[in-house]
Amino acid sequence: MLPFGLPKTDQLEPTIEPQLKPIQLVETLADLYRRLGTCLESEKSLICIEQYSILSSLGDPKLLRRCLCAARQHAFDVHSKVVLSALLRYERREDEHDGVSPMDCSSFILECPKATLDSGCDLNSIYDHCKCYQECTNSADAQISKEDELLTLEEDSDISFCVGNEEIDCVRSKIAALSTPFKAMLCGSFIESKRSKIDFSQNGISVELMKAVDLYSRTKRVDMFSPKIVLELLSFAERFCCEEMKSACDIHLATFVNCMEDVLVLIEYGLEDRANVLVASCLQVLLRELPSSLHSPKVMRIFCSSEARERLASAGHASFLLYYFLSQVAMEEDKVSNTTVMLLERLKECATLKWQKALALHQLGCVWLERLEYKSAQCYFEAATEAGHVYSLAGIARSRCKQGQQHSAYKLMNTLISEYKAVGWMYQERSLYNTGENKIADLNTATELDPTLSFPYKYRAVSKAEKKQTKDAISEIDRIIQFKLAPDCLELRAWFFIAIEDYGSALRDIRAMLTLEPSYKMFNVRLSGDDLLDLLNHKVQQGSQADCWLQLYDQWSSIDDIGSLAIIHQMLVNDPWKSLLRFRQSLLLLRLNCKKAAMRCLQLACNLSSSEHEKLIYEGWILYDTGHREEALAKAEKSILIQRSFEAFFLKAYTLSDSNLDPESSSYVIELLEEAIRCPSDGLRKGQVSVGTFFKYL
């Protein structure tokens, strides 16, 4: 059962976190809050992103989403709105919904793909519904008949442009109005101002294009042309400085971008002619297709090289924000890939502010450290330190140690502790270069200063296991699992249970671990959790689905959340299409503060729901968790109209209670909870509602 052996203390080390970690977190956040209150409106969005980058180390999805929503709310330019809306959608993992395509609108301005292409912002409407449901004005009323077009051409023409053997009759004043160069040529001192025929044969312009230019000059419309002609008009407008025509073509072409195939055809035209809106529309599809678009070589050629970044910049679409988003996704997918390195290099090139440079350099250091390129990692960490990021000193120390300079690493961390107000990670890092009792003392101090650091618990637990004190090792790792549920800690405890042949407890922890991360790899990525489950299943008697329900009632009643997660995981193996089980799973995960995993389970429950009223409840919880309380309330009420159910009343009560309630509203919430108890239910949450009612009376 232990083909890879138990973990050893000399194999354990914490990762260098790839986020900004200020020494004085509270003071830094307070300063950001002060700056938000005093800065210009145009600066607020970027400050919110700085706030997001600092809070990322805390790992609270709701807190991070609030920062992104605020950044999106204050974003003025199209580029920032496109990136932030895609980032919000990515964080919500909207692509996991059945039947949802990347360009589908969530019905809120916040993430609407059409709303992002409008410049400027309305600070009061960011949480409102967008206008996608409104039908466009009937285009038939605005159509110009072909006969009218021909009549206009015949009546008004006073100049001809010759293209090959054909003459295109135009209106001099209208062509001149297209741009300053045309006005100078046709109405200024040039010889063409005296001629009624002008030869355009040598300009590489087709007859069809020149006819389109004439028609546009009269109508100021491009919607009657084919996309091919509009693309030619765009190039013509860029060449002859026809800004109004270029803008019309740019906006019209953006409406044709709906999928990856459209992007790969149109983005080259947009970049070549610096069509801001067209490129924005293409970027939007690419970003909303993440992470899958990250694996397309054609897509990566648009982003990865320095030349690609310069082309994006010429169209107004290369920014720190864009590459921050791309590099974060790349690091999640594969931290050591060449794509990740190239995107981080572009991030560094886009960095202008001190914190941006520090972040880009620190993340490059983390990636090169993972790639075992210790000299390169050290150089980047040193540059990040020079940019003001003190936490990067831990990266320098780690890089030195990997190069055989353990004493130098120890001295560096010792100096850091003496110069700054000590925090937990400093002692944790110094412990790596210490020995014996001094190492344990550093780890104990790290825990006292920051109990959320998991490495000290893991090290002490493995140290005890090496001394054959396995039960003490389990007790040690229990200390952090009680308040911070992490897959690596559950994995470690499972190892210990296997060592003492308590296979039932090991099976429970692995099932709970796979609920948090379904694709988790154990034993240093050498064995999948599912494979280990198969091995352990031969050691433990498996109960029926009915037995599992009985166990679930017992575990739920005794508030053994990890045990409940494990039982639900086992039940889902036998009945993977049960939406109610996914929903129960999400509730447990929320109670354990595992919000991303909870959202994934909610989405799966929504996908698997077999009835409309049930689906409305799951959609309501998703809306509630993403900050849309009014919409969540509407879903609950709609579900109640279809069928009065425990879950619908509970959702309504829970949503209403999450605000400052007056006595009258509080009484209404209590009535809803009592109504929920009267409805049929499997009974698992009756106690929770009763406790909720009790607290409301208090």
pLDDT tens string 396-426: 999 999 999 999 999 999 999 999 988 999 9
Over the chain (698 residues), the average pLDDT of each successive run of 10 is 70 93 93 93 93 91 89 91 92 59 73 81 68 47 44 67 90 91 88 84 87 92 92 93 94 91 92 93 93 91 93 92 96 94 97 96 97 97 96 97 95 94 94 94 96 96 94 96 91 92 91 89 72 80 79 78 90 86 88 86 88 91 83 92 91 82 77 86 60 41
The CA-based angle 518-12-423, given to 5 degrees, is 100
Alpha carbon distance 589, 33 (integer Å): 31
For the chain, the residue count is: 698
Tokens of 114: 């059409």
CATH 1.25.40 domain range(s) in the chain: 609-697
Tokens of 369: 């450290």
Residue 371 pLDDT:
96
Helix (H, G, I), strand (E, B) or coil at 70: helix
User: Which single residue is written with the structure tokens 């003025």?
Assistant: 76
- Could you tell me which residues come within 8 angstroms of residue 632 by beta carbon, excluding any fewer than 6 positions away? 620, 621, 623, 624, 651, 655
Alpha carbon distance 453, 316 (integer Å): 42
Q: Determine how many CB atoms are found less than 10 A away from the CB of residue 541.
A: 7
Q: Determine how many CB atoms are found less than 10 A away from the CB of residue 366.
A: 25
| Fold (CATH) for 159-257 | Potassium Channel Kv1.1; Chain A (3.30.710)
Residue 139 pLDDT:
38
Residue 146 pLDDT:
44
Are residues 169 and 160 in contact, defined by beta-carbon separation less than 8 angstroms?
yes
- Could you tell me which residues come within 8 angstroms of residue 69 by beta carbon, excluding any fewer than 6 positions away? 88, 110, 126, 127, 627
Alpha carbon distance 81, 121 (integer Å): 9
Residue 385 pLDDT:
97
Checking 141-148 for CB contacts under 8 A at 24+ apart, the result is 142/221, 143/224, 144/219, 144/221, 144/224
Are residues 32 and 50 in contact, defined by beta-carbon separation less than 8 angstroms?
yes
Helix (H, G, I), strand (E, B) or coil at 451: coil
Helix (H, G, I), strand (E, B) or coil at 121: coil
Among 251, 337, 323, 245, which Cα is nearest to 290's?
Answer: 323
Residue 218: in which H helix or E strand, if any? helix 207-219
User: Which single residue is written with the structure tokens 């107004």?
Assistant: 316
Alpha carbon distance 472, 458 (integer Å): 12
Alpha carbons within 13 A on the beta-carbon side of 323: 34
Residue 555 pLDDT:
79
Residue 148 pLDDT:
47
CATH number for the segment(s) 609-697: 1.25.40
Give the CA distances from residue 366 to residues 20, 56, 308, 343, in Å, rounded to whole numbers and listed in that order: 12, 16, 24, 14
Alpha carbon distance 663, 183 (integer Å): 72
Residue 106 pLDDT:
67
Backbone angles phi, psi at 19, to 5 degrees: -120, 165
CATH 3.30.710.10 domain range(s) in the chain: 159-257
Alpha carbon distance 62, 275 (integer Å): 36
Alpha carbon distance 410, 405 (integer Å): 9
Residue 48: in which H helix or E strand, if any? helix 44-55
